[in-house]
Structure 1
């Protein structure tokens, strides 16, 4: 028995350990896999014709393993180059970001963009399926037609890469393509004569041609209708022709997302004749010229979760069937001429996360508290805009019933009464717009507890009283404050340093004087400042003028500010500057060539004007509006004025 048992045991153990042995052997071989030599040479040739100002491709060396190079992804078994990730990353605005940070990131992005031209050596990458060149700067060159020979591509992204001219029809040969993005950074820099070439892309699921000039593509409906795999179609701002096609409906039942915003449509028959897309989840028809009633055909799109009809000319009442679209999460009807009232049926939109409605033609005042009471049932609601709706009455404590609301705009209504003290309980709020109403009384000190508030608009109301440091005590996130047109007085100590860093501040008609507010000098991110008509009768300190280069808009007009503006090298460089109706004296300040509007009138500026007009005489000036009237200027008007 022992003799017969041993061979069986040996075979059993051999089969038991053979898979592990093979796996070890195979992985050991894999670890030594390097990219294919022909593909490395193709990439090096491609690099030679690229402009790489920040040396992002420094790892692309002659004897290196291209599978380890920046932006290159190889197949983990064959080592063939499968993907090229060569996009440049346009900075995304973040609410926590200062203007300086964004400017620095934008400058870094601008300097990191690839340029030059695309080398046909890419054709040697026979297995490349993913190619992303988006957000680069190919300096107004044409998209090379040889890209249409790269048959293995499934993902091609050339968006915002600086290409212009006719889109080559050869791209229609990429029969494996599932993703194609040709969104044009240069608005209308890319164009087509027709879209017939798209018919060959039968597997295409995502197509974005936003800002591409499609005005000659009269076949856009018929061609996109043939793309049976298409899920996402983005054709915003494409100058699409507003015509009625011969086919009554669209058969692309697979389509889930459709964006036709910013085109020249006017007749709503386009919606009823073309887009009977019952499976559509997202529809954007904003910024067109649609007129009349909101088309009833939309009620068949029961799967919609995102509907944007804003910035059109719809001039009817809101139809009740719209409130039956129970899956709607996002609804924007802003910027239309809608009439009538907001129905209580709006409470049926229980999935809603964001609702924006304008009713500028509404002649029937509605009680704001009643509307808000209905909307408070929408337990998921995070954003609410009821602008130009002529809502009246007082703002009660009903806002406390919104559990998730973080952004609200009740702009341009007829809401009166005091601002509720209970607003301070809404500690998650980031955006609050109560401007252009009839709120009266004082600003509650409890506003100072809204620690997440970033944007506060309460301008053009009837608020009165004193605002102190307590009102701002915990507003550490505040970036935009617009409170103009009220009768408010700010009382703060001379050494007060606000807890925020503002970017926009509009306090015209407040009482900030008589001293110049020293706390303004602590605001290192300010770009827009308007403190006109604020009863300041003091000199602006040098530390304030040192901030002047960061301003885009600066308005100190109609005060009693006196003294001289410091001389060069300080240069006023804001796009728009209004220092009129003060007591400034001395020579005119030097201004940069970027100033567009300058009003220094009704002051006591004196001496010659030659240096003003002749400063950096060889630089082209863009100034369009200039007012130096009612000063004490003298001398000869120089020839430099001709510049």
Structure 2
């Protein structure tokens, strides 16, 4: 693991050593420019005695045609090119497999592709006939149909590893693989094997693979027919059998007891069920004396654990975790298990009931008893265990003070988890405790009190959250020495005082959670030294001042949670400019003011944006549609950004959010939450239409602002919306019909606006409470009690121009009635005028006639 990337002409310096027979350059960052030196400098005599060559984990080493230099190593027996990219190397099988002395070849994860497999078929029967070990694992695209015929040339092969190679389309693979006469180790894990190939397994004769010692068929799609083959083939020599993560159902077949050499059996992660008593009833079997590792975790077994498990006198690992086992475990279960090293009983409903002075006959390395009930007293039998490096007794019902003898840890302690009990009392000074480097301690969710003591410097993770610790956190500075700490969780205590300004001693910190305490003062600038920080939780304290500009140096930040403090100033533009990985930004309930910076629109990974309960003014930026993580499904980069990068384990982030009017904590489902909450501010203007591009939003809260304008007709595009709150604004106009398309909407609040018209009909809308629409006097229709005019008089045309019921004349519009009214007026006055003129004409004629008579 020496970096040779900058070393010039290293092949001449190394490979010309006249007596060299063993050369290992694994993970030396060798690059392709050095391979040309190999070609030009190695003559036919150089390094001819080399027997062992390891160039693994130098991914960028090879170029096209660059394996010709291998032909000079005629004595080579061991060649390891794992994790070297060979995807562009032409005819590599002939270059590698023609080495006359080669017996061990490892090409794991070399990006080999199926176009090279025809070259396998061209290899004659004499090539590599001495090969004993072949590892082609993690080359998923290597195989094509019918391409395993080349295996018949390797009659001496004893070890074959094809883990992670896709064999789903390979015809008759069992006959090609299991008929190798010398094979003793076969790994076919994660090869996409399916149950349709199992009839071929059954057709293989009883003598095939009779010498097989190791068989791994885990992480495939095999069904129970694989059981029938195993026992028809009479592989009596089998020592290791791994069938984990398949599709096995029912109970464990009793004929496993006939495999007298079996030492390792794992059936974990299947759908096996029933009681274990049936399987454990054969006490006279030879398997009782041979079985060393027994793994059946993550199945559906019920009932109690039989006492006969104690008859497996050579058992070293017992793993029955994550089933539905019940009942009591007593000393009788372990009476003969003198060799037991690993005990996994967690995630069952088992009760461990031992006598107070019981001394187990074993010394355990791993103790996993979480969720089992150990009794209220601290388990005294642990005092006899001197070698454990993993102890998990969380949620075990213990309500006691931890005895002094317990703190004298075994020297290799790596994991200690006693969370979710009712342990109480003060913790002692643990700074001199013997912990392994990068150890992890979790004492969360108990009732410990007093001040936080000193802890060892070589810890990676410390979780003391949800206790009753008080006082300052000065223990971080007392040693004035750099710590290895990567995760520190002290949330939900009663800690107080100002934060110490010594964060330069914890430069590797990835998680810092001090939420829900009584800290006050300014956030110290030295926090900028936490360049690896990804998760920062300081909410619900009394911090004051501006958000420290130094935080912009923490460019790896994924979560910033500073809600419920007394921070003031503007939302800083550097959040959008300098924190490209930000997924959660929670600044809720502070004293922030000013306009929202446009740089927030650069947060392409943001999934939770909560700036509610501040004094932010101005308009919502039009560029909000650039928050692209809210417009894509969860296969985006923002979902993968939660990395398992704590040295001893992983960290699952959480967020405390106001969801449908209640404050809830999201943890396991956090990646599914995409929300914007800008409520209780002083925002004005219209809601930008671009917000409807964020189609993966599940919650949108813009309530209690001064927003105006219409609700965009495109609101129905937010198809995943479950909660929408636009109440307490100045929105007007009709509620868009498209809102009835929001099929997942279970919380809607449009109250206290100036909306008008009829509430759209839809299953979701009418099932909501009427309070969602109150404070809009011009709104009508269900679920409000006041009906719309057209609902009161359905058979008549109302003043708004609605059609009479059953009226199908599409031409009768509002314009029609206006024209008709004007026509009536003109016609009426026209008739009147004509009538007046006619009367005047008649009167004139009548007067004329009267005058003629009188004359």
* TM-score normalised by length of structure 1: 0.77
1:145 is aligned to 148
Q: Compared with structure 1, are the counterparts of its residues 507 and 238 closer, same or farther at alpha carbon in structure 2 (3 Å cutoff)?
A: same
Q: Compared with structure 1, are the counterparts of its residues 442 and 582 closer, same or farther at alpha carbon in structure 2 (3 Å cutoff)?
A: same
Aligned mates of 1:57, 1:346 — CA distance in 2: 67
Aligned 1:260-409 pairs, distance under 5 A: 260-269=267-276, 271-272=279-280, 277-278=287-288, 279-324=290-335, 325-339=337-351, 341-344=353-356, 347-360=359-372, 364-366=375-377, 368=378, 371-372=379-380, 374-404=381-411, 406=413, 407-409=415-417
Aligned mates of 1:131, 1:203 — CA distance in 2: 18
Matched pairs, number: 562
The match for 1:252 among 246, 250, 259 is 259
**CA deviations over 1:88-131 (Å, ceiling 9, x no partner):** 3xxxxxxxxxxxxxxxxxxxxxxx64444442322423413322
**Contact 2:344 2:369 survives alignment (8 Å):** yes
**1:147 Cα deviation from its structure 2 partner:** 4.7
Q: Compared with structure 1, are the counterparts of its residues 225 and 291 closer, same or farther at alpha carbon in structure 2 (3 Å cutoff)?
A: farther
2:567 is aligned to 561
Cα RMSD over matched residues?
3.7
**1:209 Cα deviation from its structure 2 partner:** 1.7
1:202 is aligned to 210
**Contact 1:241 1:265 survives alignment (8 Å):** yes
Q: Compared with structure 1, are the counterparts of its residues 79 and 340 closer, same or farther at alpha carbon in structure 2 (3 Å cutoff)?
A: closer
Aligned mates of 1:365, 1:70 — CA distance in 2: 55
Question: Within the alignment, does 1:625 sit opposite 2:707 as a pair?
Answer: no
Aligned to 1:392, what secondary structure does the other structure show?
Answer: coil
Aligned mates of 1:318, 1:225 — CA distance in 2: 37
Aligned to 1:219, what secondary structure does the other structure show?
Answer: helix
1:415 is aligned to 423
Aligned to 2:177, what secondary structure does the other structure show?
Answer: helix
**1:347 Cα deviation from its structure 2 partner:** 2.2
1:236 is aligned to 244
**1:617 Cα deviation from its structure 2 partner:** 10
| Greater C-alpha Rg | 2
Aligned mates of 1:554, 1:617 — CA distance in 2: 17
**1:376 Cα deviation from its structure 2 partner:** 1.9
**CA deviations over 1:187-245 (Å, ceiling 9, x no partner):** x5766541436762222111112211113635357448722221111221112122464
**CA deviations over 1:545-597 (Å, ceiling 9, x no partner):** 3424x234442222233322325544553344433333444326125444444
**CA deviations over 1:335-363 (Å, ceiling 9, x no partner):** 1111253444752233222222235556x
2:118 is aligned to 120
Q: Compared with structure 1, are the counterparts of its residues 350 and 520 closer, same or farther at alpha carbon in structure 2 (3 Å cutoff)?
A: same
Aligned to 1:561, what secondary structure does the other structure show?
Answer: strand
Deviates more, 1:572-581 or 1:250-259: 572-581
Aligned mates of 2:403, 2:146 — CA distance in 1: 59
2:692 is aligned to 641
**CA deviations over 1:29-84 (Å, ceiling 9, x no partner):** x979989xxxxxxxxxxxxxxxx976377641289436568649999999244332
**Contact 1:486 1:509 survives alignment (8 Å):** yes
**Contact 1:143 1:164 survives alignment (8 Å):** no
1:612 is aligned to 624
Aligned mates of 1:529, 1:509 — CA distance in 2: 13
**1:308 Cα deviation from its structure 2 partner:** 1.6
Deviates more, 1:312-321 or 1:375-384: 375-384
2:516 is aligned to 509
**Contact 1:86 1:134 survives alignment (8 Å):** yes
1:587 is aligned to 596
1:154 is aligned to 158
Q: Compared with structure 1, are the counterparts of its residues 381 and 63 closer, same or farther at alpha carbon in structure 2 (3 Å cutoff)?
A: closer
1:130 is aligned to 133
Q: Compared with structure 1, are the counterparts of its residues 578 and 233 closer, same or farther at alpha carbon in structure 2 (3 Å cutoff)?
A: farther
Gaps of 5+ in 2: 1-43, 50-58, 82-91, 635-671, 695-855
Q: Which has the higher contact order (CA 8 A, sep 6+)?
A: 1
**1:294 Cα deviation from its structure 2 partner:** 0.9
**Contact 1:244 1:273 survives alignment (8 Å):** no
Aligned mates of 1:79, 1:617 — CA distance in 2: 56
**CA deviations over 1:408-436 (Å, ceiling 9, x no partner):** 22222111111123x33313252322111
1:183 is aligned to 189
* TM-score normalised by length of structure 2: 0.59
Aligned mates of 1:53, 1:224 — CA distance in 2: 47
Aligned 1:16-35 pairs, distance under 5 A: none
**CA deviations over 1:302-355 (Å, ceiling 9, x no partner):** 101111222222111113223321111111211111125344475223322222
